[in-house]
Structure 1
Amino acid sequence: MILLKNATIIDATSTLNGKKRDVLIKNGKIEKIASSIENSDAKIIQKDNLHLSIGWMDTSVSLGEPGFEERQTLKNGIKAAAAGGFTTIMLNPNNQPNPQDQSGVMYLKNVTANQAVSILPVGSFTLHQDGEHLAELYDMQKAGAVSFYDYKHEVTNANLLKVGLQYTSSFNSVVQSYPQNKDIAGKGIVNEDLVSTNLGLKSMPSLAEELQIARDLRIAAYTKGRLHIPTVSTTEGLKLIKEYKKSSKNVSCSVSIHHLTLSSNELESFDANFKLQPPLRDDKEVKQLQKFLNSDVIDVVTSDHMPLTIEHKDLEFDRATAGTIGMESAFGALNNLIATDKAVELLTNGYTVFNQDRPQIEEGQIANLTIFEPDTSYTFEKSNIVSTSKNSAFLGKTMKGKVIGIINNKKALWNE
């Protein structure tokens, strides 16, 4: 048994939102919620400013296993997710082999079953992610795939995206399309701005993202299929999505926490931890992106977690692999930007976007909870990283709020 004492409940869908309550969890279920509960047999969790919400969900996570276990195993990824407050993560098809049929999805479901963190596989959209032939989408969906995505690969063939959206609409699944026009992006590795010019690095204009989003929105309007645009990094891209949402509800989008908090100014150090895909935008763009956080344009904020070993990062900048880990730092960075209740909303909207049952904070419900303290400020250091790979773009950055632990699937993991 676990007894959470005097916890402020953050759940906009609940009548308990904003209220302080004791919560008793027994055998993985919320047994009682009351102003005061006494139970000498329970493990008591009590803090000066204890908060709880439904378990957070990260919609864009890459792990090493299978294929790249030296980067991060599934077991270690679960620990890192829990440290960041996530009870559910969507696993990108960024492994070897990538799931592209029923057996690939079932393997991931089986090896991660009954863990404190629920792992939801994302299947490849096309075979081998080569953009030529659709993967076995329906079979993967029946096996447990929650979405389809050629991870960080744009769908160049517009007709293939059209057919895929039409097909998946018959079983109400979600297709993700990476927002980048490869012809405009070329061989660019950083944003086209004054910083890239001064550093002499190959750049790509934000136009590469905006063109792709404009095309994909037109295809979504035609097909009426469910389209999710992941890791949008430009304000013009968000403006296009905002305009589309005025008349249609079949499109959603996410923004990564690093694009909301870090700018291309970081590149002046030539630290490869700041080499990301899409690239960090300039300081003005970051401030404009932040203004969308309190609107309904951004559905989800994600860590876009990508573990990479020093063999991929301790190189010349142009040779290094793009990506940063982020699960452990996502909440602390986001909570710095907006009110805690809005941060929680953006970390839990994924349930609705990807057709998952939303947890409930009610007596008799299975406990799927994140327990945290929202006001503690600290500097993010390597000691805060649970992930095997340490390639964090947030090292040395100030965070606000700490995760105390999670409860999910009749299990609990604590950071303290």
Structure 2
Amino acid sequence: MTKILIQSAQILDSASPFNGQTKSILIENGIITQIADQISIQTDLTIDQPNLKVSTGWVDMRVSAPDPGYEYRESLRSVREAAAVGGFTEIALLPNTQPIIQTKGSVSYLTHTGSNHAVKIHPIAAVTIDAHGKDLTEMMDLHQAGVIAFSDGHEPLQNSDMVLKVLQYMQPFGGLFINRPEDTLLTKFGTMNEGLPATMLGMKGMPRMAESMMIMRDLRILEYTGGKIHFTCISTAESVELIRQAKQKGLQVTCDIAAHQIAFTDGDLMEFDTNLKVNPPFRGQSDIDALWIGLADGTIDAIVSDHHPLDVEVKNLEFDLASFGIIGLETAFAVLNTHNTKLSSEQLIALLSKQPRHILGLPTISISENQPANLTLFDTDTEWTFTDKDIRSLSKNTPFIGKNFKGKVWGVINQGQAKLVRQNSEIRNSK
């Protein structure tokens, strides 16, 4: 039997009877067996870190790991390591692999490869065959095979009739449709947000209405069909307001933002750093302010990393030719905590843990005795500098190298295993 002791950690979990209290937590064979002020016992591993906080394990709803097909960008093993360093115990993988995740066999590959790791993978299957937006996949069979949600991932679903059919088809089994709102005809050849910086740089802009128009369309269809929809990676003030109004009407709509979206504006692209080329693009400060308000009032339900690993061959190019994408698993929490001025620590952590779990229909967990230990260990005060040594992804397409952060993840515990980050970012395993 493996025994792990967490010494003197503040518990942040609204479902726990110990919420807000500083306690020691004993874990035996993957189960929390004791929570008390002090615990003195011989263990296999003792975790004792100043100012330590512990929450239920974080869940990332939007991660790309193109394995199979592009394992040199990210493998299932490396994405798990990156997730652990970032504090995530569960991640939902986009279907944009080669071949596309749209068969029971491909789902089984994701769920069984490396399944004894502390980070659990949940497959998102394509909603249309090959993510081409034309013909529906066998969603009922895929749901029964263990798929957690349906989306074409990097490809926004453009066909209105297809959106209508998807929402109707999923209702009998309660499936979740995830769509990234973008009218791709309006953003064609665009490289950054449409605005003054794009004009000054001579770049074709991507207008905000390309996002808001698709949200308006999908909400109108949702009102007609019923069902539920999740908008991922919203980025504009108008999008926040549209979703706020839809929730007030009682529609079953949820949404998330990418963590990196609050760290930069389109004005930061003046040096043509292709690591800042993301989709949706970085917007203006007024949009960032609206995102924070949406997070604070509950309009925005969750935060994702939008982890999208890319190799130098598609990233180290002229800005207009480079691919969109950024890695984010290792930095999501640090970015959010560093820029946060509106949310309590408990509110921020709920956006990474409790609320994504609810949206995806995952089992409810809590930090209580006799419950499975699915935990993230972190603090909100440590100041540190992110370097390439902190990256566990196989790709390094990030603008955060050399950036100073406040708040650090110290490890995760899940499925009877601990993955801990030391001061020098070395990973230690415990089984």
TM-score band (shorter)? over 0.9
Query: For 1:15 and 1:41, how far apart are their aligned partners in 2?
Result: 25
Say whether the 8 Å CA contact 1:325–1:393 is kept in structure 2: no
Query: For 1:387 and 1:206, how far apart are their aligned partners in 2?
Result: 31
Query: For 1:295 and 1:152, how far apart are their aligned partners in 2?
Result: 28
Query: For 2:142 and 2:393, how far apart are their aligned partners in 1?
Result: 28
The alpha carbon displacement at 1:262 in A equals 1.3
In the other structure, the counterpart of 1:347 is 352
State the superposition RMSD in angstroms: 1.2
Query: For 2:219 and 2:108, how far apart are their aligned partners in 1?
Result: 32
Say whether the 8 Å CA contact 1:254–1:300 is kept in structure 2: yes
Which runs of 5 or more structure 1 residues have no equivalent in the other structure? none
In the other structure, the counterpart of 2:402 is 396
In the other structure, the counterpart of 2:30 is 28
Which one of 369, 375, 384 corresponds to residue 375 of structure 2? 369
Q: Deviations along 1:46-93, whole A, 9 cap, x unmatched? A: 122111000000000001311001101110110000000000000011
Query: For 1:390 and 1:276, how far apart are their aligned partners in 2?
Result: 14
Query: For 1:45 and 1:382, how far apart are their aligned partners in 2?
Result: 26
Partner letter of residue 98 of structure 2?
Q
Query: For 2:250 and 2:105, how far apart are their aligned partners in 1?
Result: 35
Partner letter of residue 401 of structure 2?
L
State the secondary structure of the residue aligned to 1:4: strand
In the other structure, the counterpart of 1:248 is 250
Q: Deviations along 1:150-189, whole A, 9 cap, x unmatched? A: 1122222111111111111110110012201122222212
Structure-to-structure mapping, 1:245-284, within 5 angstroms:
245-284=247-286
More displaced stretch, 96-105 vs 83-92? 96-105
State the secondary structure of the residue aligned to 1:392: coil
More displaced stretch, 260-269 vs 204-213? 260-269
In the other structure, the counterpart of 1:293 is 295
In the other structure, the counterpart of 2:195 is 193
Partner letter of residue 181 of structure 2?
P
Which one of 165, 181, 184 corresponds to residue 182 of structure 1? 184
In the other structure, the counterpart of 2:391 is 385
State the secondary structure of the residue aligned to 2:185: helix
The alpha carbon displacement at 1:249 in A equals 4.5
TM-score (norm 2): 0.94
Residue 229 in structure 1 maps to residue 239 in structure 2: no
State the secondary structure of the residue aligned to 2:73: coil
Percent of pairs with identical residues? 38
More displaced stretch, 140-149 vs 335-344? 335-344
Which one of 84, 99, 102 corresponds to residue 100 of structure 1? 102
Structure-to-structure mapping, 1:138-177, within 5 angstroms:
138-177=140-179
Query: For 1:355 and 1:127, how far apart are their aligned partners in 2?
Result: 24
Say whether the 8 Å CA contact 1:71–1:308 is kept in structure 2: yes
Which one of 346, 356, 377 corresponds to residue 362 of structure 2? 356
Residue 313 in structure 1 maps to residue 319 in structure 2: no
Which runs of 5 or more structure 2 residues have no equivalent in the other structure? 423-431
Q: Deviations along 1:208-251, whole A, 9 cap, x unmatched? A: 00000000011111121120101001110110000000122511
Partner letter of residue 336 of structure 2?
L
Query: For 2:237 and 2:218, how far apart are their aligned partners in 1?
Result: 16
Partner letter of residue 376 of structure 1?
T
Q: Deviations along 1:292-318, whole A, 9 cap, x unmatched? A: 221111111011001111111111111
More displaced stretch, 176-185 vs 131-140? 176-185
Query: For 2:307 and 2:59, how far apart are their aligned partners in 1?
Result: 13
In the other structure, the counterpart of 1:137 is 139
Structure-to-structure mapping, 1:322-333, within 5 angstroms:
322-333=324-335
Say whether the 8 Å CA contact 2:222–2:251 is kept in structure 1: no
In the other structure, the counterpart of 2:428 is none
Q: Deviations along 1:76-135, whole A, 9 cap, x unmatched? A: 110000000000000011210111122221221121422210000000010011111111
The alpha carbon displacement at 1:13 in A equals 2.0
